[in-house]
Amino acid sequence: QQQVKQSPQSLIVQKGGISIINCAYENTAFDYFPWYQQFPGKGPALLIAIRPDVSEKKEGRFTISFNKSAKQFSLHIMDSQPGDSATYFCAASMRTNFGNEKLTFGTGTRLTIIP
Amino acid sequence: EAQVTQNPRYLITVTGKKLTVTCSQNMNHEYMSWYRQDPGLGLRQIYYSMNVEVTDKGDVPEGYKVSRKEKRNFPLILESPSPNQTSLYFCASSPRPVGGIADTQYFGPGTRLTVL
């Protein structure tokens, strides 16, 4: 079963607009919530991440909003630009007994910014 | 330059012909993982390794093998590939957590495998 549910599957936003991608999770053991950005032909790259002790994190035009009680988190891209066109994955992480991070990914959102 | 490299980047093979996809990292990371990416399913972990000679299964290990004989290398082996293993594969690495806080994973560029 999909432990991290991501929506929408695809999104088209006008240049300058706000792009919003949503994710929901079930397992309360998750303790780290990163977002990855993937361009065609490339591997995913960390974009921004949040821990559940804060409700919002902002880095430039990218903001994560986190609602612990609802077990939901979302990525907001302000002033969206054509260069933001990519596939975005949310993920949730829990620490294993070995101390490393085990990531569970959402299904991805293909974002297209049109002029 | 810090990076994770994979080879080959593209591979077309036939059912049952053993193949190996190599992965190497130059960041002295202890943790390495293999993922497969399929449309509508996101990335799913196949195997991971905590250090040399220490590996464990991820979420979808069936049909795959791994080894970790050196810290920098983590090859993915398909002993008898089948068409359902046609996918985009990513290797990733991450360092030992500092202060109990796990760091993020760094991904390679991917290997697109087609099994006919």
User: For every one of its 115 residues, what pLDDT tens digit does chain A have, with 9 covering 90 and above?
Assistant: 568 999 999 999 999 999 999 999 999 989 889 999 999 989 999 899 998 889 999 999 999 999 999 999 999 999 999 999 999 999 998 877 766 677 899 999 999 999 9
CB atoms inside a 10 Å sphere around CB A114? 11
CB atoms inside a 10 Å sphere around CB A75? 25
Q: How far apart are CA A11 and CA A30, in angstroms?
A: 26
What does the mean pLDDT of chain B come to? 91
Closest to B85 measured CA to CA, from B65, B68, B70, B106: B65
What dihedral angle (degrees, nearest 10) is formed by the CA atoms of B5, B6, B9, B11?
170
Q: Which amino acid is at B40?
A: G
Residues of chain B falling short of pLDDT 50: 99
Shortest CA gap A53–chain B (Å): 14
> For A99, which of B43, B48, B97 is closest by C-beta distance?
B97
Shortest CA gap B104–chain A (Å): 7
Q: What is the pLDDT of residue A2?
A: 63
Q: What is the pLDDT of residue A31?
A: 87
Question: B104 vs A34: CB contact, 8 Å cut-off?
Answer: yes
Question: B43 vs A89: CB contact, 8 Å cut-off?
Answer: yes
